[in-house]
Amino acid sequence: MPKETMTPRERWLAVLTRQKPDRVPMDYWGTLEATARLIRHLGLSSDSEAALVAAFKTGGQRARLGRRPIDRLRRQMLDRLHVDYVVTVGPRYVGPRLPPNTDVFGCRYRNVEYGTGIYGECVYHPLAHYTSVEEIARNYRWPDPDWWDYSEIPEQIKGWEQHPIRGGGSEPFLIYKNLRGQERAFMDLVEHPEIVHYCLDKLFDLAYINTQRIYEQIPGQVMITYVAEDMGAQEGLMFSVKHIREFLLPRMKRIIDLAHSAGAYVFHHNDGAVRKILPDMIALGIDVLNPIQWRCKGMEREGLKRDFGEKLIFHGAMDNQYTLPFGTVDEVRQEVLDNLRILGAGGGYILAPCHNIQAVSPPENIAAMYETGYEHGWM
């Protein structure tokens, strides 16, 4: 095996700047349950899966890696698999005390067991019963940017200088769906566009200030800013192009321009069959496209690489619908080789799963993905 000559940060940066890395970078996204199973599979802990999941939850789910024992286990797992993981920074909440299971927007959550994993589902939508902007303005208190303390961010990157740093960004329509309820939120695009505009302005303003303050704490250190919005389903867009252009794109452009002004690359997460909107997203200035769900209509890897490969870095493409959860180890290995051949041709690819690996995925498959990527990803 060739000797590594780059750090994870250098490897990511080489891909982002269209230079040649020593090997294709690899990233990891996984649920708590999937991560715990993988840690046990690799022999890094003899604890039961339930105990490991409980430890993860006690330690918190923030993406940045700390120095708690459970975080050291996770780091050992990632290092064992040669993952070029990203370290996320963010402020500490110091605002008004929140009720149990309630977020800063007043949305309340309940844990739901789906057999292979537990997910927090929004069960109370604080803006669901309002019918006008005036009612919301009169009765609802929007979070204040001063409810967060940003002063500890410089400390968060100490010891992680060799890894890509992620900070800031936005995904406001996701929040809007929780505030109004998912069905109501989509209906609002037609029935109450003034409410959508008003709320998205508030949410994007908060995201903008949050991102700006993160940059101010660690100038020039943030490599990746996450600008996301799920627009696609299996067969096509969940929104009309008209609505995407009216409600989302102008506001996303503000965050994208802010990121670029700070020297950060824009990592755009957009699930599903989103090919139709990709030219608009490229015009906005996104740098990285995730998650490349190539089993969705129009998202075939060959076409994406052919039509957008000179304008986008591709991140993901390891299929979570069939290959990782239900495929054989040999099928996983073949998909890695296919992704390296198709999306990695000439550079511009970061190997990763299509969104979070679920607990239904055998740890043997997950390990095979990274082992194959490490064995065959040398440039």
Q: Model confidence at 38, in pLDDT bands (50, 70, 90)?
A: very high
For residue 99, being part of any structural domain is answered with no
Q: Model confidence at 62, in pLDDT bands (50, 70, 90)?
A: very low
Q: Return the closest-CA partner of residue 314 out of 366, 375, 268.
A: 268
Cβ atoms of residues 125 and 178 within 8 Å: yes
For residue 144, being part of any structural domain is answered with no
For residue 222, pLDDT beyond 60: yes
| CATH code for the domain of 233 | 3.20.20.210
Q: Model confidence at 67, in pLDDT bands (50, 70, 90)?
A: very low
Q: For the chain, what is the domain count?
A: 1
**What pLDDT is stored for residue 46 in this prediction?**
79
Question: Could you tell me the residue range of the domain that residue 274 belongs to?
Answer: 8-91+150-169+179-376
Q: What is the pLDDT of residues 168-200, one digit of tens each?
A: 999 999 999 999 999 999 999 999 999 999 999
pLDDT (mean) for 229-256 = 97
For residue 246, being part of any structural domain is answered with yes
User: d(Cα 275, Cα 282) in Å, to the nearest integer?
Assistant: 11
Q: Model confidence at 59, in pLDDT bands (50, 70, 90)?
A: low
For residue 303, being part of any structural domain is answered with yes
**What pLDDT is stored for residue 247 in this prediction?**
98
- Cα–chain center distance at 67: 22
SS3 content of the chain, % helix, strand, coil (to 5): 45, 15, 40
For residue 56, pLDDT beyond 90: no
Positive/negative CA dihedral, 113, 117, 118, 122: negative
For residue 65, pLDDT beyond 50: no
**What pLDDT is stored for residue 66 in this prediction?**
45
Q: What percent of the chain has pLDDT over 90?
A: 90
**What pLDDT is stored for residue 93 in this prediction?**
98
**What pLDDT is stored for residue 203 in this prediction?**
98
For residue 70, pLDDT beyond 90: no
pLDDT (mean) for 261-268 = 98
Q: What are phi and psi of 31, to 5 degrees?
A: -70, 165
Secondary element (H or E) of residue 198: helix 193-217
Q: What are phi and psi of 353, to 5 degrees?
A: -70, 155
Tell me whether the omega of the peptide bond preceding residue 291 falls within 30 degrees of 0, making it cis.
yes
User: d(Cα 86, Cα 300) in Å, to the nearest integer?
Assistant: 27
Q: Model confidence at 57, in pLDDT bands (50, 70, 90)?
A: confident
For residue 309, being part of any structural domain is answered with yes
**What pLDDT is stored for residue 55 in this prediction?**
78
For residue 297, pLDDT beyond 90: yes
For residue 295, being part of any structural domain is answered with yes
Q: Which two tokens stand for residue 248?
A: 């989302």
pLDDT (mean) for 64-78 = 73
For residue 101, being part of any structural domain is answered with no
- Across the chain, mean pLDDT equals 95
User: d(Cα 200, Cα 89) in Å, to the nearest integer?
Assistant: 24
Cβ atoms of residues 277 and 244 within 8 Å: yes
User: Partners of 148 in the beta sheet?
Assistant: 93
For residue 68, pLDDT beyond 70: no
* C-alpha separations of 124 from 76, 108, 121, 127 in Å: 38, 5, 9, 9
Full-model pTM? 0.95
pLDDT (mean) for 45-57 = 80
> When comparing pLDDT for 66 and 49, which is higher?
49
Q: Return the closest-CA partner of residue 9 out of 154, 151, 157, 156.
A: 157
**What pLDDT is stored for residue 296 in this prediction?**
98
Q: What is the pLDDT of residues 124-138, one digit of tens each?
A: 999 999 999 999 999
User: Partners of 237 in the beta sheet?
Assistant: 232
For residue 273, being part of any structural domain is answered with yes
3-class DSSP state of 87: strand
